[in-house]
Amino acid sequence: MSGGVDSSVVAGMLAADGHDVVGATLQLYDHGAAAKRRGACCAGDDIHDARRVADRLGIPHYVIDAEQRFRDSVIVPFAASYAAGETPVPCISCNQGVKFTDLLGLARELGCEAMATGHYVRRVAGPGGAELHRPVDAGRDQSWFLFGTTRDQLEFLRFPLGDMPDKAAVRQQAERLGLPVAAKPDSQDLCFVPDGSYAELVTRLRPETAEPGEIVGEDGAVLGRHDGLAGYTVGQGRRLGPAAMRGGERQRVVSLDPRTRRVVVAPRGRDTVRSLALRDANWLVDRPDAGLRCQVQLRAREPVRAAVLTGDGVMLDEPALPAPGQACVVYHGSRILGGGFIRRAA
């Protein structure tokens, strides 16, 4: 229970159905502004909201101090990934570690029969066991963030909101249940960034990411300067200064080189990458053979692309601009087969 409307509705629905529900909230950080900012999660006012919901439902509620674990498994690797020239996805790290490993393990220790969350994704009972599918509400789809869920974890997990038609229906359910968070705004941005500026956090943990360097074209020509790699990701077109235009064409970031501290730009629309190597792969099916045709999603809000699995990654039908550190999630229709994180080119 994060203190938001989604997990609160899940608790309410399960309690209304007669289940013996125990609410658990992870305290993930506690640093001033972020803990008091509405629309964050898992700290300060949000823990208070989760407790109010539990009291309204008449269920026990526990707050688990996971601050150090969250820092070690999510925040520190987040900064390290930027220092390595990648674009990390901390929500995936949080799901893989603190939520679906630590919290799920605690649920089992307490003798619970399942752990339910407010994620928008569907768990479908298939002939070979539980399957993970996209939700009914495509606009709320969180399946990309959950590719790291293991098969064993999926057997224990439940996602009641996956069949909800839209967020309005979820809020209506919250009102019917009399939950005090029915009108609470959705969480925004990264939960652990106090002011929405991740670069400040990254540079504090990894000062080398604040060192200035050159913005160059793919031919090596120096086009401008930057104030630190922490402010740039692959695909970005902002903050390029005089390097934003070259030869009448708008530029965007195509790679980051932490060794030379260079930001490399190229004209928009000239995607050239088809072969992707992946690391830390996770499969929710028996590992597919190379040559399997599939669809892949390279960013959280991008459409899927046609591809073929290779020995250590995928081959896209059409070139793209993948960002190292982002997830490449493999789908067959609505079902997640698995995925991995995109490696930086050697």
Nearest to 336 by CA among 81, 191, 119, 187: 119
Catalytic residue among 42, 91, 112, 191: 191
| φ, ψ of residue 317 in degrees (nearest 5) | -65, -40
Residues whose CB falls within 8 Å of the CB of residue 107, separated by 6 or more in sequence, listed in order: 24, 114, 115, 156
Decide if 94 is catalytic.
Answer: yes
Catalytic residue among 42, 94, 294, 328: 94
Q: Please, where are the H alpha helices in the chain?
A: 5-16, 33-36, 45-57, 67-70, 76-83, 90-94, 104-109, 151-156, 167-176, 198-205
- Distance from C-alpha of 238 to C-alpha of 244, rounded to nearest angstrom: 8
Tokens (6 digits) for 139: 């606009």
- Distance from C-alpha of 240 to C-alpha of 295, rounded to nearest angstrom: 33
Nearest to 35 by CA among 26, 46, 49, 25: 46
**DSSP per-residue codes, 38-50:** TT--SSTHHHHHH
- Distance from C-alpha of 214 to C-alpha of 168, rounded to nearest angstrom: 47
Residues whose CB falls within 8 Å of the CB of residue 5, separated by 6 or more in sequence, listed in order: 170, 171, 174, 179, 181, 182, 184, 186
Q: Report the residue count for the chain.
A: 346
The bridge status of strand 122-126 relative to strand 157-158 is unpaired
Decide if 191 is catalytic.
Answer: yes
CB atoms near residue 68 (< 10 Å)? 8
- Distance from C-alpha of 236 to C-alpha of 225, rounded to nearest angstrom: 15
Residues tagged active-site:
94, 191
